[in-house]
Structure 1
């Protein structure tokens, strides 16, 4: 739709008839409305498949019929009737396909055959699996140093595929595992490991049934984790409180109409998902929690002075924590002026939010990338954890720390070894399993892999799923660098822009989707497994016929490449490629926490991977939960541009009609945007100061100075309720504005929620 025909329409509560209409539209567009509906009936069922969308937990996985709009989109997108065949590639050159949008590329449908790029014709051409494996193996073995190869993983890969992948790569001789988790919750893993001894959240889904208060911070569950809205709504309905802390006013954090509630749908009603909503400046979250901690400590001082019951849980602090006194000194020394300027809130806002904490017995804090994608993200999460320690809100029912992760198995991939800095104990176990020494030096994360591509050190890139080139910061620079590699390989279900940046040799290898049947040599339907945000491990078995007879599972593709590259002396790749039970047996030998993996995962709800911190066993160097030790940032990004004309802090985020880089459609129903994506959301007072209005066309210019011009030209201005000086827009379109050099301290996470830019009115 042309920009001048697009309009901003009012949006109502999250969910409701809008969600059902979207589901119907997705089923219709898939070309398989009847079979698609039947497929949805197997979503999150004991004999069906796990939702390929987000990693939010299921209330009764295997016995409930619970799915969300995002899950429907993910399933129907995969189960489409459309096909990308060798004939399609013969009709369209790579150069032509590069001009297509992300949406149009993936809308062409499922890849059907392994393809190899022909640089002489600029077309992909069909190749046999045997020749593809042999060609990839030869190209990898031609590299002088295994550390010149980068092995990327998407969080949609199963535990079995991820474990086999890391086994192959370590036998090849490198720990280069750039992973999608590096771009989202790496800061959570680093901070939580420091604070509580494990880089995972401490809650189960049932804890939402018993909590008194939830802080939902830096996330938009209506778009990213819709099933979470049901949990938040239930918290509010039973009289507990939910405090939403988010710069943008999001529909999902205010009201939700449950599409599975017949009475509510008939009446057209909805229910709140939060009781309080506060909108801080970008980067101001650490200041908020520091301020709330000041209020709690002041309340404790007052209680002691007046001889009243203690506010703090002194027993927990004394028995289970370290560094309390030093952290208290930091909190008390922090000025209110600094807290209020960084947060953009009033003191009353912070005191009100803190009083809820004082009054509550059981508290959960849940956060996502609005917290993690800043320079000081690790310190912010440490501050959140310290705040929670004050009243012992870790390791009790109804309490805990909850990083809300994205892809369905992004947590599981890390558990089974996709880690560029794997613990020594894991490498020890792998060496014992394989009977060979493995590399131990730290490998590359995403940012380091980008650096290696840009400086010419990297020679090969293999992607197990995902759309690396579009997901990363400085996407325009990465696209250019990928074309200079000796080898690029993409294992995928659908065509995306990452496949259109071929190196000197390039392969696109189509794999089975989560919804499709995969059988072993005996003809028995196989399952794969995933781990959700609550550390629950589920089985997943496809029910649909494969989109093409030529498709192989991710496991078989990895095994084929591995056999052609490192041989079968240490690993029987043929057997593992055909039998997922054998892979799970191997995982359990290397990681005893999985126990009797094959038996447990066949239980209706799967099983829980024990989290010691959730039972107040803190495996840190102090053997206790550690309070933070950091001052607030000297300046947030907002403070650094405050007062500069037309300068802003930009955050990138998803539209409602996308999941990560997959764009299902051109609408963002909850923000009132229809038919377009090249928009920028700006506070109305900022627009007035620049003599702009909603609908004007602007250029967005990055201000990071390294000699590269970063810009997004011709974007339409949308007036939106966001703090002054803070603007927003969609990725992947705006990833070109994110410098790869600006990363989170200790985490290397891209700073996609604090990008420094300026706006200019476009020259017609």
Structure 2
């Protein structure tokens, strides 16, 4: 058909459903969560199979949740269910009995599939066999595993340079698969290893490594139970890490106070109805936040500075009772310079209160809550990491903790709340476009081949390299690259310039529909599937947000006998590409996870006796010097520096608004489970924009009006058409929308300083009444991108 020759759409369809508004909820979890989880199992036609799996998820001898990276308890785990609503939804989609076979692809062209939204695309079920899109083709065709790897090897060996290839990784990939994957990339000759950290917590690592010597958090789950104050900033635990609410509630029960800082009053920050107790199921639940500070988007820095001013005043009035002067003297550097900065006229409470949008009275309440406490935990999510000054803001958080001596002791420290279940493990396994000399030296000494030393492409640089024709091949080990990345139209046209795109996946997603001249889809096991090698069910391992490495063993029969695991996929790619030139025994790693773990033990510190320790009940903690109060930084030795940061200029033109993208409660990263956002009162719609009522009135509009959204960064017009205005409790001139629908508005050049992450929580937009003719302008924008060289 002629339509099949057209480029499929990179965007979700510009259509509205039937929006219904329900009351905004004031607490999270409870009976609603239980019913929603069971509803997804029924929808995926896996109620009994799925429930059987849920009883084994996050248990000592079970499998690790494929959703978020929140840690499991070290001691007792609930026999009823050590999982949350979103974990159950993730399991439902993984345990589904729906199947996407070769016949499905024969019936549906890529063009027709692209006309569906991401929710519809993801609901077809599990992929069952390798599929190939030939050059100029319109439909995916079946291909054997052998021929798929031959094709990959032929493309890689035809490149003029190894640096024309990139190897992307999602956070679901196991430690074992990650290790052999990065090893192949390095033996092939490149460090082009963009990964999902480049889009979520690269900022955290960039901030922490130079200051405390490690790019990870410093607390354990037990610390939440022993602390005095928990400050959760730029994060929504009710949706992004629901099991975190149990830890918050337990800390609260033990006497901790909780401060929530966020532009939106999220249900999971305010209250928790424990679904594992009768009171939680039918009662009002536990109030979590003692104080909620409704900060403006990117007003966090001004708020942190204001808190510091008040803490300095408290220290002057009560010397030695507020700041830990002994800790400052013995463990830090730069204290005097840090204090001196506050002599500047900009550092006054009235000015900073105006910049952050929080009243002086509330800032004072927050300062009083932490002034005379030492056990303080700061948690944050992408509300900080995806700001252009996110690195600086995290270092400002560290400044407060260093003043208080609140790091490296029980009940105190930093806790970046990671997203995907093994995103932290990927980086530990050397999935990194900027490996250190020490890491490369260890690999080189063990394997005996010369490691590439040139830094590779991160996600943003990889997109630009594709656009410039510098990348010809990309391999995606999991994930949904297109829907996760910024500047959707620009990225789509960059991907289309590839010679070959390979995606390892469990389910169909939009990245399979926007591809290079050729494309391959390679199906693999889910976390809950039995991973059988040489007749035995294998264990893999993952690392959670708090540095615990633990075993994971699937227990469901796979939906197809034509799947192979990610470790074997990486090994077979290596053998097909490198052949006899390789010095690595890829066949050994292909046949044995234990052999892979033996190699990890030799190459990565902290994994001594890996095969033994990973089989221990609950796994083992990796070394964390900062957790033990030891700071080992390159520039400052055993001291943690106070950092001097700047207050950002967040000025807007008279017709501009600040927009942050977020996800719904029916969503995990780019996976859309449903069309509701229960906690925020949204039902059956995703194309909404949350706005302050005063802003709506000033625009001469009303709730329910249809609008088009524009961004003009870099002098380029970007358009997201057809959104519905929803009034919400949000600071003036601030707006919130869902991704991936508004990723199109995030310029590929709008990035976080130092970490180069997309600044998706800081997008300047203009809002105009919806015009039906807007679609002609959208097509023109897309055509301009296609013509760009």
Secondary structure, aligned partner of 2:284: coil
Partner of 2:519: 506
Write the distance in 1 (CA, Å) between the matches of 2:608 and 2:670: 35
CA contact (8 A) 2:495 2:516 kept: yes
Give a deviation string over 1:314-338, Cα, whole Å, max 9, x none: 1100000011111111234342244
Match of 2:163 among 131, 147, 152: 147
Question: Within the alignment, does 1:238 sit opposite 2:254 as a pair?
Answer: yes
Partner of 1:303: 318
Question: Within the alignment, does 1:32 sit opposite 2:46 as a pair?
Answer: yes
Partner of 2:562: 550
Partner of 2:624: 611
Question: Within the alignment, does 1:50 sit opposite 2:64 as a pair?
Answer: yes
Write the distance in 1 (CA, Å) between the matches of 2:765 and 2:71: 37
Aligned-pair CA distance for 1:394:
0.3
Structure 1 residues 62 and 634: alpha-carbon distance in aligned structure 2, compared to 1, 3 A threshold: closer
Write the distance in 1 (CA, Å) between the matches of 2:353 and 2:438: 45
Partner of 1:345: 358
CA contact (8 A) 1:44 1:62 kept: no
- Greater Cα shift, 207-216 or 110-119: 110-119
Partner of 2:787: none
Partner of 1:192: 208
Partner of 2:280: 264
Structure 1 residues 552 and 753: alpha-carbon distance in aligned structure 2, compared to 1, 3 A threshold: same
Write the distance in 1 (CA, Å) between the matches of 2:204 and 2:15: 40
Partner of 1:430: 443
Write the distance in 2 (CA, Å) between the matches of 1:146 and 1:340: 52
Aligned-pair CA distance for 1:5:
3.6
Match of 1:402 among 400, 415, 418: 415
Question: Within the alignment, does 1:662 sit opposite 2:677 as a pair?
Answer: no
Write the distance in 1 (CA, Å) between the matches of 2:495 and 2:363: 47
CA contact (8 A) 1:152 1:179 kept: yes
Partner of 2:647: 633
Partner of 1:597: 610
Question: Within the alignment, does 1:539 sit opposite 2:561 as a pair?
Answer: no
Match of 2:753 among 721, 745, 752: 745
- Greater Cα shift, 210-219 or 343-352: 343-352
Secondary structure, aligned partner of 2:232: strand
Q: How does 1:282-301 map to 2 (within 5 A)?
A: 282-301=297-316
Partner of 1:133: 149
Write the distance in 2 (CA, Å) between the matches of 1:700 and 1:2: 15
CA contact (8 A) 1:159 1:413 kept: yes
Write the distance in 2 (CA, Å) between the matches of 1:658 and 1:674: 13
Write the distance in 1 (CA, Å) between the matches of 2:279 and 2:770: 49
- Greater Cα shift, 525-534 or 476-485: 476-485
Question: Within the alignment, does 1:564 sit opposite 2:572 as a pair?
Answer: no
Write the distance in 2 (CA, Å) between the matches of 1:311 and 1:545: 58
Write the distance in 2 (CA, Å) between the matches of 1:525 and 1:576: 16
CA contact (8 A) 2:68 2:240 kept: yes
CA contact (8 A) 2:630 2:638 kept: yes
Write the distance in 2 (CA, Å) between the matches of 1:524 and 1:86: 28
Give a deviation string over 1:180-227, Cα, whole Å, max 9, x none: 001111111011012101101000000011000000000001010000
Partner of 1:710: 718
Aligned-pair CA distance for 1:601:
0.7
- Greater Cα shift, 558-567 or 487-496: 558-567
Write the distance in 2 (CA, Å) between the matches of 1:94 and 1:61: 49
Aligned-pair CA distance for 1:63:
4.5
Write the distance in 2 (CA, Å) between the matches of 1:592 and 1:525: 28
Match of 2:636 among 622, 625, 648: 622
Q: What residue ranges of structure 1 are gaps of 5+ in the alignment?
A: none
Give a deviation string over 1:52-104, Cα, whole Å, max 9, x none: 11011111378544110011011111110111100000001111111111111
CA RMSD of aligned residues (A): 1.4
Secondary structure, aligned partner of 2:606: helix
Write the distance in 1 (CA, Å) between the matches of 2:164 and 2:218: 37
Give a deviation string over 1:727-751, Cα, whole Å, max 9, x none: 0010011100000101111110111
Partner of 1:229: 245
Aligned-pair CA distance for 1:611:
0.4
Partner of 1:331: 342
Aligned-pair CA distance for 1:709:
2.1
Partner of 1:117: 133
Match of 1:723 among 718, 725, 731: 731
Secondary structure, aligned partner of 1:594: coil
Match of 2:332 among 302, 313, 321: 321
Partner of 2:269: 253
Structure 1 residues 268 and 524: alpha-carbon distance in aligned structure 2, compared to 1, 3 A threshold: same
CA contact (8 A) 1:6 1:675 kept: yes
Question: Within the alignment, does 1:20 sit opposite 2:31 as a pair?
Answer: no
Give a deviation string over 1:416-445, Cα, whole Å, max 9, x none: 100111111110011112111010011111
Match of 1:374 among 383, 387, 395: 387
Write the distance in 2 (CA, Å) between the matches of 1:90 and 1:14: 43
Give a deviation string over 1:321-358, Cα, whole Å, max 9, x none: 01111111123434224422321112222121111111
CA contact (8 A) 1:197 1:625 kept: no
Write the distance in 2 (CA, Å) between the matches of 1:145 and 1:507: 21
Write the distance in 2 (CA, Å) between the matches of 1:104 and 1:15: 26
Aligned-pair CA distance for 1:616:
1.4
Structure 1 residues 716 and 533: alpha-carbon distance in aligned structure 2, compared to 1, 3 A threshold: same
Write the distance in 2 (CA, Å) between the matches of 1:70 and 1:4: 23
Aligned-pair CA distance for 1:4:
7.2
Give a deviation string over 1:268-297, Cα, whole Å, max 9, x none: 321112111011111111111111111111
Partner of 1:164: 180
Partner of 1:81: 97
Question: Within the alignment, does 1:475 sit opposite 2:500 as a pair?
Answer: no
Aligned-pair CA distance for 1:3:
4.6
Write the distance in 2 (CA, Å) between the matches of 1:192 and 1:296: 23
CA contact (8 A) 2:659 2:764 kept: yes
Write the distance in 2 (CA, Å) between the matches of 1:423 and 1:30: 44
- Greater Cα shift, 319-328 or 329-338: 329-338
Structure 1 residues 635 and 263: alpha-carbon distance in aligned structure 2, compared to 1, 3 A threshold: closer
**What is the TM-score with the length of structure 2 in the denominator?**
0.94
Partner of 2:5: none
Partner of 2:540: 528
Count of residue pairs brought into register by the alignment: 752
Give a deviation string over 1:341-378, Cα, whole Å, max 9, x none: 32111222212111111132311000010011111111
Secondary structure, aligned partner of 1:651: strand
Partner of 2:762: 754
Match of 1:281 among 283, 292, 296: 296
Write the distance in 1 (CA, Å) between the matches of 2:693 and 2:296: 15
Partner of 1:676: 685
CA contact (8 A) 1:236 1:275 kept: no
Partner of 2:659: 650
CA contact (8 A) 1:44 1:61 kept: no
CA contact (8 A) 2:396 2:645 kept: no
Partner of 2:433: 420
CA contact (8 A) 2:134 2:517 kept: no
CA contact (8 A) 2:389 2:648 kept: no
Write the distance in 1 (CA, Å) between the matches of 2:67 and 2:290: 28
Secondary structure, aligned partner of 2:502: strand
